Every structure is written in structure tokens, then in C-alpha cells.
Amino acid sequence: MKNELEFQKLKGIIVFCNKCSRNIHHKNKGKKCNHPLDKQVYKAIVRTGIGNERKTKILEARDFRTAYSEFKDFEYQVKNPHLFQKAIKQEHPEILQETMVMYIDYMRDEDVPHHMKKYLSKSYIKSTEAHFHDFLRFAKSTGIDLNKYKIGSVDDIIVGKYCYYMENKGVSNYTYNGRIKAMRTFYKYLIDELDYNIKNVWKKVKLKSEKPTDISISAEDFYDLIDVISPDDSFAKIGKTRRNMYRPWLRNLIKLKAFTGRRNAELFEMKWNMIHFEGGKPIYIESPNIKVNKQQNNFAVGNYQFAYIPIGKELLGLLNDLNLTKNINSKDYIIAPEVENRVNLEKQTSKYFTFFYNKLNRNDTKQLKHLRQTYITREDLFVNTKISMQHSNYRTTSKHYVDKREVAKEMVKNGFRVFDINLMRSLSIKKINSIQENIKAQHNSSCDINQVDVLHQNTM
């Protein structure tokens, strides 16, 4: 009767007794193994190559041929550990509040690999946090224990109640949509990036219609706004405090926004040495496209994408007012060069704009960002017919073939303006007539008639 497993002498395989821990075929002196066959196993021994370290494994085979096959598989795994490392499954939180905190950390690029960083703006992250807090407050008001409430517990019923709550509260469609979109994106991250076994219940919510964002500012509103900006009556009550909304550079900033169409962050980063000259004449401003560069992780100047802003007559007039000739190739900022904290400037400017625009007592509301839309609208009408003689898709032409520097030069050559010169003249004439009427009504006024003549000459 067979009392030993089949064996062939081969480096790395031995027949081993599980009972007495002996190598059956080892030429050792002393007592031999007398345990039955069912206690014997094939054992693989493989050196890792790190000093005397070795790995061992009890094989399942009961015949030598199968044992040899198992041994070769085990040897390959030991020699190539990087191919067989088991991914350590990271434990992710299940409590809703904790998952939200984790997502905000992700938005801030905490512990995110360099190539996957998003560089989201602080304002965007802050608004997402506000949306989360609103939903948590609502959930708590329904009696939910937030310390125990799991992400998987959010179902159609609670989502429906939250939507009803927002509608009854009278939140704007814009805010309503913003909150729903924030929750959709949050759930998408959990499902796509972290493999949470949940459904994106927020995708079922229908978004509400919003007012169009393609709002322009008329020349009349623009120049009336410029006129009303002054240190007189410039304090606003915010909470219990009074804040001065006037800044000496505000008029110039608003003009620069209107005549370039760039985003606020770029306006405060514009320097005099970004102005490109040809034949001694300023042609365009080469401004880094901050938003695009952030999205593409372009932080080296050599990788920057630029916007080429034509210096039309309006912009040239502003630059001359700010002493262009004295600042050629200067590294100073064009707007408020004396202020070091540029981020703080950007934060407050929109509030200043709104404060002074409200002084016009119009029946609508305009924001600083609408000047960018005004510029882009005029630029589109002036340049872009969306027709390409070379490509069926204009975007292909624009992205790969159009030299935007040459377009900027052509715009300057053809007298590009944001606001219609004829309309400006008619506005000036209206102001002249208004002054003349005041003079006639007040014969004894100290108003100098020469002011009217000067104003009239400036409009010719």
C-alpha cells in the first residue's frame, strides 16, 4: 500500500508532514516520519531575492504533476509581487454628514493626486457647503437624527419633501436649481469615484426654468452709472454696520470691464507690460486666461493660454486717461496698483457695482458680470459670423486655425467699439438739453453757460 506522496527531486518542492512538521525525503538522521499518507502535503518554498527571505505555501495537489503546476504559479507571484498585490479596500463613511465632509475635502484637493486636482474656486466650494447645510437643516427639522442618518437612506420620499419645502419657502429658481445640482454632483462623485452602492435619486428632480443670462447693459445705463459713482452718499447699511462702497478706482475698473469683457480676476491681474505695440501704437492686451489655465493645471507661464483683447477707441481712451505713455512696459497693475491684496479687491467689486447701479432707480437689476456679456455680444456681432470657408464646424476653425492676435488687430483697424458712437452723441445731446433747460429755469443761477459749449464740443 502506498505510504508516501509521489515525489521527484526538484528545487522548491518538498513533501511535508503536517503532523510532525518533517520533510519526508530529507536525509536527516534520527526518527523518520511514520504518520499516515493523509497527513502529507506538497509544500512550495521560493526565495524572494531579498537576503535570505523566502515564501512558503502548502499546495492543494495530491499528485506531483499538479503540484508542480501550482508551484510555478506561486513562484511567479513571489517574483512579481507588484502584479498580485491586493488592493486595500478603503472604508468610506456611510453617515450622510461625514460623506459631505469627505466630498468638500475632495473639492479642496486634499489628498488628491496632482494630476487629478481641480483647483476649484473658494466661492464655488463655499456655495456647495451652503447647499449641503440647507439640506441638513431641512432633514433635521423633519426629526431625522443626523448622527445616524446614512447616505443610502436618502430616497425619493425625502427628496420630494425637500423640493416641496423649497417651493413653499419661495426660493428663487436659480437657488432651487443650484441646490439640486450640488446634490446631483455630490452623488455622482460617490457613485463614480468611490463605488458607493447607491442610486442618484437627485437625477429624477426636474430643474426649474431660469431667466436668461444673456443680459446686456445699454450705453445709457452704462454712462449714467459712471456719472453716479462718487464719494457722495456712498455708504450702505450692511447689518449693523455702515460700509463705504466708493473706491477711487471703481469707475476705471468698471470701464475696463466694459471695454475688455474679461473676468474680474483677470482685470485685477492686468499689468501695463501686457500691452502689445506695433508701430508705436497699442494694439492688444495679452492677458492670461485664468479660468482656462486653472482647469488645465497650467501654472508655468510657458503653458499659459492667453486672451487677446483689442485696444479699441474706448479702451485706448481709458488707458490714456490712466497715463499709458508713462507706464509702457511697467510691471504695475493697471487698476489700483497700490493695493497688494488683489483677492480682496475682486471679492468686493460686484457689491460696489450693485450699490451704485441701484442709485439709478431702474426697473431692472444689473450686475457687474453683465458687462462681460455686453462686450461678448458686441464682439460677436463685429467679428464672428460663425461661417468658415474651410470647415463645416466653426469651432474647428476657431480652435485650430484662427490667430486671435490677428483678429484683435483687425478689430482695432476697423474701429471696434462696445457702445455705439451715435447713441453716445445722442445721450450727450440729451444731457446738453437738460443743462440748458435748467439754465433757463434758473436765470439767476451761477451755472456757467460755457460748460454747455465745452460739453457740446466734446461730442462733435
What tens digit of pLDDT does each residue of 327-353 get? 999 999 999 999 888 888 888 899 999
Note if the pTM is more than 0.75: no
Residues making up the chain, counted from first to last: 460
Residue 142 pLDDT grade (very low, low, confident, very high; cuts 50, 70, 90): very high
The count of other CB atoms within 10 Å of the CB of residue 301 is 8
CA 319 to chain centre: 31
Which of the listed CATH numbers 3.10.129.10, 3.40.50.2300, 2.40.50.140, 1.10.150.130 matches domain 96-204? 1.10.150.130
Chain segment 234-275, per-residue pLDDT in tens = 999 888 889 999 999 999 999 999 999 999 889 999 999 999
At a CB cut-off of 8 Å and minimum separation 6, what does 233 contact? none
Domain ranges of the chain: 13-83, 96-204, 219-419, 423-458
Q: How far apart are CA 107 and CA 188, in angstroms?
A: 13
Q: How many helices (H) and strands (E) does the chain have?
A: 16, 8
| The pLDDT of residue 210 is above 70 | yes
Average pLDDT (75-79) is 86
List beta partners, residue 208: none
Q: Residue 179: which H helix or E strand, with range? A: helix 173-194
| The pLDDT of residue 229 is above 50 | yes
pLDDT for position 392: 46
Single out the residue of 220, 265, 177 nearest to residue 364, CA to CA.
220
Residue 460 pLDDT grade (very low, low, confident, very high; cuts 50, 70, 90): very low
pLDDT for position 314: 93
pLDDT for position 175: 95
Do residues 151 and 196 make contact, with C-beta atoms less than 8 angstroms apart?
yes
Do residues 178 and 166 make contact, with C-beta atoms less than 8 angstroms apart?
no
Q: What is the mean pLDDT of the chain?
A: 82
Q: Which three cell numbers stand for residue 233?
A: 452718499
| The pLDDT of residue 20 is above 90 | no
pLDDT for position 402: 56
| The pLDDT of residue 433 is above 90 | no
pLDDT for position 64: 85
C-alpha angle with apex 261: 231 to 421, nearest 5 degrees? 80
Average pLDDT (99-114) is 90
Q: Which architecture, in CATH terms, is 219-419?
A: Orthogonal Bundle (1.10)
Do residues 103 and 186 make contact, with C-beta atoms less than 8 angstroms apart?
yes
| Higher-confidence position of 448 and 260 | 260
Average pLDDT (45-72) is 84
Chain segment 23-53, per-residue pLDDT in tens = 777 665 556 777 787 778 888 888 877 776 7
| Higher-confidence position of 24 and 75 | 75
